[in-house]
Homo-oligomer: A and B are copies of this chain.
Amino acid sequence: MARAATDDVSIAALRQPTAGAASTVYPFLGVDWGGEVFLGAAVPFGVVKLGPDVESFDGQPVGSGYASTGLVDGFSHLHLSGGSGKYGNILIAPVTGRLDPGDIKSARSGEDASVGYYRTRLTRYDTLAELTATRRVGFHRYTFPSNPDSHITVDVAHLLSRGNTAESQQFLGGKVTVLSDHEVTGVGRYRGGWNEGGEYRVYFYLIADTAAQHTQTWAGPTVSSSKSSSTDSDTPLGASLDYATTAGQVVQLKVGISFISEDQARRNVKTEAPGWSFDTVRNAAVDAWNQSLSHIRISGATDSQRRQFFTAMYHTMLVPSDRTGENPLWKSSEPYYDDYYAIWDTFRTESPLLTLIAPDRERDIIRSLIDIYRHEGYMPDARSGNTSGRTQGGSNADVMVADAYVKGITGIDYESAFKAMQKDAEVPPPDPHMEGRGGLLDYNSKGYVTTADERSGSRTVEYAYDDFAIAELACGLGHDDAARRYAVRAGNWANLWDSSLSNDGVSGFIRPRNPDGSWAPADLTVRGTWPNFEYEGDIWTYSLYAPQDVRRLMEMSGGKKNFIRRLDTLFYHRHFDMSNEPGFLLPMLYLWAGRPDRVADLITLGLEREFLDSRGGLPEGNDDSGAMSSWLIFQSLGIYPNAGQDVYLIGTPSFPEAEIDMPSGKVFRILARNLDREHANRYVQSATLDGKPLDTAWFRHSQIANGGTLELTMGPVPSDWGTRLPPPSLSDPVSPLCAAATASH
């Protein structure tokens, strides 16, 4: 039996990790009002994300697991972050008094969390619950009251978002076995969820530090003293270790999770958490986070800005899950990651962030994508529970690869990646709902997806950008024919452009085309979703989606002046939607029109109005695996990636000084002289890079790869800095395509 821990001791422990960036993370930021971030204990990219699952007061489970209000069902081991409708498996709950597995939920009090740690008191049971974790092990500490009838229960049937629709999850059955008076093992089989995934199995091995007086199991409504129970259908399934507890008695658990076997779950406990010191495990988690968060340092920020910034970084490292060694589908020495949710969300800002500050991690993630291609035929667009799906737009893993390539990440088999990208571009998938490109035959023969397929607008413009990414890699690898072919296809977005289509004083929008090539009616008012012409954005947003060729976009919009007016109208009439990704780049488009001042205005607005430091601090919608959070990180730093290209666009920094560790071991420093947000000194007056004047509002990754200093001098009035040479475009007189791709390798 472990020594009793009082609440006071735990509170002292809670405040322990005061050093390092981890101490500034506020895990509650973004849990409410749609942010849907994970709350609980996890290490960076951990398999186990151990946290409370809550149901609302009228009995509706919260799809992402956590909410600030509602009753706690218990603490489950697998979660997404910034999304909902998957996991919630292997739920542990302490109970006092008569055990009814169908009625365990409790109110809570004294809830708190810090990086790698969660605690709450379950008021119904007067029991304190504390959680921490390693990569594959959940570590639980329960402090009980005096009660002759206390229990630690494990619920194998539990899931978030249960139901019988394709998007809900189903429990298919499983088994639970009491191995000894302090060990339980088992497996659950599950299916469904947002990605409409196939069956996956979660094995667990639970070991307590305290022998139980009795044990029980159940499969169905009735609890029995049997040592083992199993079911092949959606019935309750679980087990209980029963104790007569004294006041303040602590019972600790370690729960190993595996996707391979019960034995591996047990091994995971032995290798990752051999001892019984909660604080050792917790401190290791904090250390891991401090290490992961150490690669950017900011100074001169307010407390609120620091909190937002490092919590955002934390959000970007909760998913994908590093399931290396836990792939049940094939044997491979390659890394294995799951929970891309979805690459469509994260390729724009989160991948470029990891490329910048954690290139080894990004390398492993991309290697896992390539390994999935090798064994399943396609790189995923989304994936969870070992099943790829569902595709939201293009095959944007292509852009991830290109982004890594043009920024010089090594250790990736780019020839295999190139094959995977060509497969995306050339071979229609068996089920375009789950992988590859839907409408590909039309796209490849006509140059656009037609109304015969859903999301024909957003898919067309994304495919064109994906083709640009392929062309870049082809250039770099010396596949010149392919480079030329895909560079031409990179202009396909313009095939949907109807210059006669007008709305709100602006002419020229993308428009649906019928299979015979004729125009179909356009809906100028909808913000699309499945199966509309556009997905999670409106026609204003998608008509300006050509990150590879904004110059041409501007020409087609009637030149610089009309383009500025178009952007002004777009923002004024709120077509820009910070809560969904398709518009992420829109504020930066002013740079191509020589208006860095408008960029500064809009970034300031976005950071001020959309991002807060509180529980509802993320744009309504959800964090989408850290996509929103990484937008904040880049825009706060004052640089923003054009994902897939070796270019950073300069906005307006939020901090006087920031340092970024570059893979070279050198430091890239961003200084903002005279920065004074309160006084609106948001406009860059002049800039130097490594002491040399920089007159453009952009620079290349290669210019900072070996460290350096970007020094921006800020002022309250726009200047002519950055107004002359716009960022690169495919249709520039000298095409930037191969120069960038070859320079980096």
A residues contacting B by CB (< 8 A) are 28, 32-33, 57, 68-69, 71, 107-111, 597, 601, 605, 608-609, 612, 614-616, 620, 678-680, 682-683, 716-718
Contact = CB atoms under 8 A, between A and B. Distances in A.
B57 A609 contact: no
A717 B608 contact: no
A109 to B, nearest CB: 6
Given A57-B718, A717-B107, A616 B612 contact: no
Contacts of A108: 716
A680 B28 CA distance: 12
11 contacts: A32-B608, A33-B605, A57-B718, A68-B679, A69-B683, A107-B717, A109-B716, A111-B679, A608-B612, A608-B616, A609-B616
Contact of A612 (B28, B109, B597, B609): B609
Contacts of A107: 716-717
Contact of A679 (B110, B614, B678, B680): B110
B616 A69 contact: no
Contacts of A612: 608-609, 612
B109 A57 contact: no
A531 to B, nearest CB: 19
A717 B107 CA distance: 7
Contacts of A57: 597, 717-718
Contacts of A109: 679, 716
Given A108-B716, A608-B614, 14 more contacts: A28-B678, A32-B605, A32-B608, A33-B605, A33-B608, A33-B609, A57-B718, A69-B601, A69-B680, A69-B683, A109-B716, A110-B679, A608-B612, A608-B616
Contacts of A608: 32-33, 612, 614-616
A612 B608 CA distance: 9
B33 A69 contact: no
Of all A-B residue pairs in the complex, the 10 with the closest CB atoms, nearest first, are A68-B680, A107-B717, A608-B616, A69-B680, A57-B718, A609-B616, A608-B614, A33-B605, A111-B679, A107-B716
A156 B623 CA distance: 53
B679 A717 contact: no
Contacts of A597: 57
Contacts of A620: 609
A612 B71 CA distance: 29
A71 B717 contact: yes
A69 B111 contact: no
B609 A605 contact: no
Contacts of A680: 68-69
Among A71, A609, A616, A718, find the residue whose CB has the most chain B CB atoms closer than 10 A. Answer: A609
A121 to B, nearest CB: 10
A494 to B, nearest CB: 30
Contacts of A68: 679-680
Among A57, A605, A680, find the residue whose CB has the most chain B CB atoms closer than 10 A. Answer: A680
A33 B608 CA distance: 10
Among A69, A108, A109, A615, find the residue whose CB has the most chain B CB atoms closer than 10 A. Answer: A69
A605 B31 CA distance: 12
A71 B680 CA distance: 12
A238 to B, nearest CB: 25
A68 B601 CA distance: 10
Contacts of A28: 678
A109 B680 CA distance: 9
A717 B679 CA distance: 43
A587 to B, nearest CB: 14
Given A107-B716, A716-B109, A717-B107, A682 B69 contact: yes
A99 to B, nearest CB: 22
Contacts of A69: 601, 680, 682-683, 716-717
Nearest to A67: B680
A381 to B, nearest CB: 28
Contacts of A679: 68, 109-111
A594 to B, nearest CB: 13
Contacts of A717: 57, 69, 71, 107
Contacts of A110: 679
A71 B71 CA distance: 54
Contacts of A614: 608
A104 to B, nearest CB: 16
Nearest to A107: B717
A528 to B, nearest CB: 16
Nearest to A613: B304
A216 to B, nearest CB: 29
A107 to B, nearest CB: 5
A609 to B, nearest CB: 5
Nearest to A525: B525
Contacts of A605: 32-33, 616
A30 B352 CA distance: 35
Nearest to A717: B107
A597 B614 CA distance: 21
A68 to B, nearest CB: 4
Contacts of A601: 69
Contacts of A616: 605, 608-609
A645 to B, nearest CB: 29
A289 B681 CA distance: 30
A334 to B, nearest CB: 43
Contacts of A111: 679
Contacts of A716: 69, 107-109
Contacts of A683: 69
A196 B680 CA distance: 34
Nearest to A111: B679
A378 B614 CA distance: 48
Contacts of A718: 57
A597 B71 CA distance: 14
A597 B70 CA distance: 11
Nearest to A69: B680
